[in-house]
Structure 1
Amino acid sequence: DVIWWHNVMTILNSWMRIQTGIVDTSVRANVFSDEKMAHAIRFVSSHEIGHTLGLMHNMGASASFPVDSLRSKSFTAKMGGTAPSIMDYARFNYVAQPEDGVEQITPVIGAYDKYAIGWAYRWYGKTQPWDEIPLLRKEIDSHVHDPIYHYGEQQDSKNIVDPRAQSEDLGDDAMKAGEYGMLNLRRMMPNIINWTTKVGDDYYRAGKLYMGVVGQWYAYADHVLNNIGGIYLENAVLGDQKDAYSPVPKEKQVRALEYLKKNVLYMPEWLFVPALMAKTFPLRDSPIGPFEYAPYNLQREFQYAMLYKLVNDERLLRMVEMENLFGSKKAWSAPEFLTSVRQTVFAKTISGQSLDLKTRMLQQNYVDVLMVSTNKSMEKLNAKKLAGIEQLVEATRPALCLHPQHTSSSQAGLRNVHVTGMMRTSDMLTYKRAELYEIYQLLKQKKRTGDAITKSHYMDLLLRIANTLELN
């Protein structure tokens, strides 16, 4: 049986417009042709039938394609779709650019799916089941080092360990894929009203599409962020020359943070265009009607969510584990990472500049996420706020194919690495308190620099940090 939600076509409409509307003119209108929607429904239903045949989500499949290959008309025509498995949540090809001429942009049944079904169901004509075991073993061994046949288990979406096995991502390099994706989002922004509104219409559909664009931008950032403190997980067995655990290469983690510095810590101006916001704010539906998000508030909440995830406990503890096992040349150390974040967040303070509203917001949010972990009473006070932000983030990223075992209430079968035992006595808290103290010392030195509002901002942060660290 396949459970088919009543609004699947609404979600598909949103995905295709946002992810491929720039390269496919047929998905820009409010209503698609029957042929176009049927093609998308075929993708979703094929995925669900895969589950009925016993296939699990293969979230690591999409990482086997080099990002630039998704811009190749010949490669995508040969391989089909966006990943070697339709059991990934690879979605539509948001990497392809208008000039590429790529036509195969929808996920399809791939090489991994055919291989997995063959392994499970092929009839060998043997009289006893155990006679097939050597043949099945040979099938696995013949593909063990071919990335097309890589299997990456689904993980808890709020605690990604292996960044190759993420939902909604494409290709082997999240930073490069995100840059290409954002180029298309930037092209789309000036067209939101034209694509959604006719003379006499209100701007409800425009606001919905606008929120979808913001959510897609956030998804790219999330894919990148999960490379920091990431661990590559393999289903290693004796004789296959694979390691079960290895850190995401240090240089890749550094590149991930550079992406976030460039595109996320200061939210991009092109995402908040005054001409569009004069007509509509980003909005989402709620039980009491459309919920409209004021731009500055939306920026603050998204930025807080990203910073909170950036320095969350599990991420820093994984960094400690990997540095301890593999050394600082292969694994990025948590103190070095936190220093790099601080130098970016407080760059204008270090140079003695007056701070604008967005810089003050960034510094307030960063100090607050550090305080949440170092003061348990503060953590309780922030629990409601964090829950609200998580709801916002989820609302901008509509999900398909959510099966009971994949909800937050039951994480059975999801791949994880336990690092949180005895957290209160770990170095992670030492690092965060040290960061707060470094910020405190910097603000003491600079508290008389800048304009009046900058000085007031520094005094506020000093009082907050002093209260949290119980400084005299």
Structure 2
Amino acid sequence: MTEPVMVRYSRRHRLEKKNPKAATSEAVEPIVYYVDRGAPEKVKQALIEGGAWWNQAFEAAGYKNAFQVKELPAGADAMDIRYNVVNWVDRAGNPRAFSYGSSYIDPRTGEIIKGVVTLGSDRHRQDYLIAEGLLQPYGSGKSNTDKMEQLALARIRQLSAHEIGHTLGFFHNFAASPNGRGSVMDYPFPRFSLKADGTIDVSDAYAKGIGSWDKRSVLWGYQDFPKGTNEDEALEKIMQETLKQGHLFIPDIGGYTHPTSHQWDDGENAVTQLTKLMTVRRHVLDNFSEKAIPDQAPMATLEEVLVPIYLLHRYQIEAAAKSLGGLYFSPAVKGDGQVATKMVAPAEQWKAFDALLTTITPDALALPEKLIQKIPPRPSGYNNMSELFSRHTGPTFDPIAAAEAAASETISSLLNAERAARLIEYQARDSQQPGFMQVVDKLLAATWKAPLQTGYKGELQTMVNNVTLKTLLELAANNQASESARGQALLKVQELQQWMTTKMPSAESRQKANLAFGLAQIAKFNEDPNKFQPIPGLEMPPGAPIGMPSIDFLDDDVAY
């Protein structure tokens, strides 16, 4: 009657010390992973080096040479159950390659029988494009691609360690990056900095070894205690020391809420990092040129490299937005001393809001005229790709549509239905918290109610106004959103309608056109909010360096 209905096992390979009493001991049988012989030589070496980082964690847990990575022996079959393998796979037709780590597990004990990693051969493509844009390496008949190659290989090392980590039984930890790149089980964004001479330093793009969280994970999951040890007490002691060191574990459940749990971000503070990233992005865009593409490449291919640079901040937007209406939480266990939940300080939330607003200003969204003029339509034989910007202008490059894709990410983050519900709830519980209507008021003041600039930047501003209204109307019409959020959104729509009507007579022609369109959209909405379906906004091209959503199917031990 007192036994638990469900028994949970940690997933791990069989690993035992030859001498459990020794602080450091060789293993009775080491864990060995084998890398595909068919991988290109430099890639194969990077996969071996990155995978071998895990030995650092096993050494920290008291094992000597207990984790090894080797080339698959000639004649061996990767499907053989006796081999843990890292496969390198070509996948035609999918330029955004997949990767995953899976395990065959004995459900009776949790023992991992075989680890299988599968890596797509173009997995480093996005990093290479980013490096081309940052470094502009093709100048005056000569090129310097060594730094780009080193960045790509550094990414492959990290990827090898990440996917092998899944096969060792470890989950993502998306809250590791603020703790000094604490885990290879995070999704990292390349780290770079703007030097005094205006060049970009990418030498520290990715971590160069196992993380401190990973060492603690192996220590807890693979420790071989001497006979007679109370394992429950020993494991709890490890866990308490891990918490004392400041580690936080937030896997995929972090969602769109936890202020320090993000995919593809960098830095200790998401908001500070967004500001830094916008500075680097602006500098690179202002100096972007044909040096980003090889000699003899069609000028139209500039757009292929421009896309990841123009959207360099895309994941940092998501990261920074989590502070607004966000919630700190932990996987607290009764009696372990962790704080289960904590609201974000109001000042930090408004700091995040202000940083997000800077990403939708005309100054942030504008491209240099000299760059726009260098991008012609795609030539014959160069088909349009999903990795290019959508456009309203037919075959010609559309800088306003590119800006729409970028601005939509920020605005949809600010007006997210779940975030709106949390803002309303948290302010109801604590009046010092930002409220949803306050957020909308400040957003409208910075968009529709701001003086309209002239020229290209004015058109960017008009586009942002339209996206803001469309997103607000979508929230008010969203029958999956909380009724309080829909009601407050509806009130702000009505107030904006009144302001637009009052402003219309004195507006100059360009603003009058913008107001007329906005009022027409509101009128359409007012006919039947539940049936209101605005034209979908333009989406950003794919950005994650994988060919499908960044999701772990944890029950199956698969990481994409």
TM range, normalised to the smaller chain? 0.7 to 0.9
Alignment of 1:179-190 (within 5 A): 179-189=275-285, 190=287
1:192 CA displacement: 4.2
Q: Give the match for residue 220 of structure 2.
A: 119
1:139 CA displacement: 0.8
Q: CA RMSD in A?
A: 3.2
Whole-angstrom CA distance in 2 between matches of 1:350 and 1:40: 44
Contact 1:374–1:433 (8 Å) recurs in 2: yes
Alignment of 1:160-171 (within 5 A): 160-171=256-267
User: Secondary structure of 2:328's partner?
Assistant: strand
1:16 CA displacement: 4.2
Deviations 1:40-63 (A, max 9, x none): 321111111111111111100012
Q: Which runs of 5+ in 2 are unaligned?
A: 1-115, 391-397, 529-560
Deviations 1:293-352 (A, max 9, x none): 411122223323432232121110111222233x022x221122122112212333699x
TM-score (structure 2 length as normaliser): 0.63
Q: Give the match for residue 390 of structure 1.
A: none
Match of 2:170 among 48, 51, 55: 55
Q: Does 1:303 find its partner at 2:407?
A: yes
Q: Give the match for residue 317 of structure 1.
A: 421
The verdict on how the C-alpha distance between 1:12 and 1:443 changes in structure 2, with shifts beyond 3 A counting, is closer
Deviates more, 1:231-240 or 1:435-444: 231-240
Whole-angstrom CA distance in 2 between matches of 1:36 and 1:427: 48
- Report the structure, 1 or 2, having the larger strand content: 2
Q: Give the match for residue 345 of structure 1.
A: 447
Whole-angstrom CA distance in 2 between matches of 1:464 and 1:319: 26
Letter in 2 for 1:210: L
Contact 2:400–2:459 (8 Å) recurs in 1: no
Q: Give the match for residue 431 of structure 2.
A: 328
User: Secondary structure of 1:179's partner?
Assistant: helix
Q: Give the match for residue 395 of structure 2.
A: none
Whole-angstrom CA distance in 1 between matches of 2:203 and 2:471: 44
The verdict on how the C-alpha distance between 1:191 and 1:464 changes in structure 2, with shifts beyond 3 A counting, is closer
Q: Give the match for residue 417 of structure 1.
A: none
1:30 CA displacement: 5.6
Q: Give the match for residue 249 of structure 2.
A: 151
Deviations 1:148-204 (A, max 9, x none): x22121247xx5111211011112322211222223223323244213232x33125
Alignment of 1:210-221 (within 5 A): 210-221=306-317
Whole-angstrom CA distance in 1 between matches of 2:377 and 2:492: 35
Whole-angstrom CA distance in 2 between matches of 1:63 and 1:332: 25
Alignment of 1:82-121 (within 5 A): 83-94=181-192, 96-99=193-196, 103-107=203-207, 108-121=209-222
Q: Give the match for residue 278 of structure 1.
A: 373
Q: Give the match for residue 139 of structure 1.
A: 238
Q: Give the match for residue 193 of structure 1.
A: 290
Match of 1:459 among 496, 506, 516: 516
Contact 2:329–2:341 (8 Å) recurs in 1: yes
Alignment of 1:226-265 (within 5 A): 226-265=322-361
Contact 1:175–1:256 (8 Å) recurs in 2: yes
Q: Give the match for residue 321 of structure 2.
A: 225
1:87 CA displacement: 0.8
Whole-angstrom CA distance in 2 between matches of 1:163 and 1:455: 40
The verdict on how the C-alpha distance between 1:35 and 1:439 changes in structure 2, with shifts beyond 3 A counting, is closer
Deviations 1:59-112 (A, max 9, x none): 0001234xxxxxxxxxxxxxxxxx111111123213x33259895431231111
What is the percent sequence identity of the aligned residues? 18
User: Secondary structure of 1:359's partner?
Assistant: helix
Q: Give the match for residue 525 of structure 2.
A: 468
Whole-angstrom CA distance in 2 between matches of 1:86 and 1:365: 37
Deviations 1:345-369 (A, max 9, x none): 2333699xxx932232222221111
Q: Give the match for residue 408 of structure 1.
A: none
Whole-angstrom CA distance in 1 between matches of 2:524 and 2:228: 75
Whole-angstrom CA distance in 1 between matches of 2:359 and 2:260: 21
- Which one has the largest radius of gyration? 2
Q: Does 1:427 find its partner at 2:528?
A: no
The verdict on how the C-alpha distance between 1:113 and 1:205 changes in structure 2, with shifts beyond 3 A counting, is farther
Letter in 1 for 2:417: D
The verdict on how the C-alpha distance between 1:225 and 1:267 changes in structure 2, with shifts beyond 3 A counting, is farther
Contact 2:165–2:185 (8 Å) recurs in 1: yes
TM-score (structure 1 length as normaliser): 0.74
Contact 1:282–1:292 (8 Å) recurs in 2: no
Whole-angstrom CA distance in 1 between matches of 2:357 and 2:389: 28
Letter in 1 for 2:218: I
Deviates more, 1:211-220 or 1:296-305: 296-305
Whole-angstrom CA distance in 2 between matches of 1:22 and 1:165: 32
The verdict on how the C-alpha distance between 1:139 and 1:266 changes in structure 2, with shifts beyond 3 A counting, is same
Q: Does 1:369 find its partner at 2:471?
A: yes
User: Secondary structure of 2:117's partner?
Assistant: coil
Query: How many equivalent residue pairs?
Result: 390
Contact 1:206–1:280 (8 Å) recurs in 2: yes
Whole-angstrom CA distance in 2 between matches of 1:292 and 1:336: 33
Contact 2:424–2:436 (8 Å) recurs in 1: yes
Whole-angstrom CA distance in 2 between matches of 1:461 and 1:102: 44
1:228 CA displacement: 1.4
Q: Which runs of 5+ in 1 are unaligned?
A: 66-82, 380-419
Whole-angstrom CA distance in 1 between matches of 2:410 and 2:444: 15
The verdict on how the C-alpha distance between 1:196 and 1:155 changes in structure 2, with shifts beyond 3 A counting, is farther
Letter in 2 for 1:365: V
Whole-angstrom CA distance in 2 between matches of 1:258 and 1:87: 31
Deviations 1:381-427 (A, max 9, x none): xxxxxxxxxxxxxxxxxxxxxxxxxxxxxxxxxxxxxxx6xx45x21
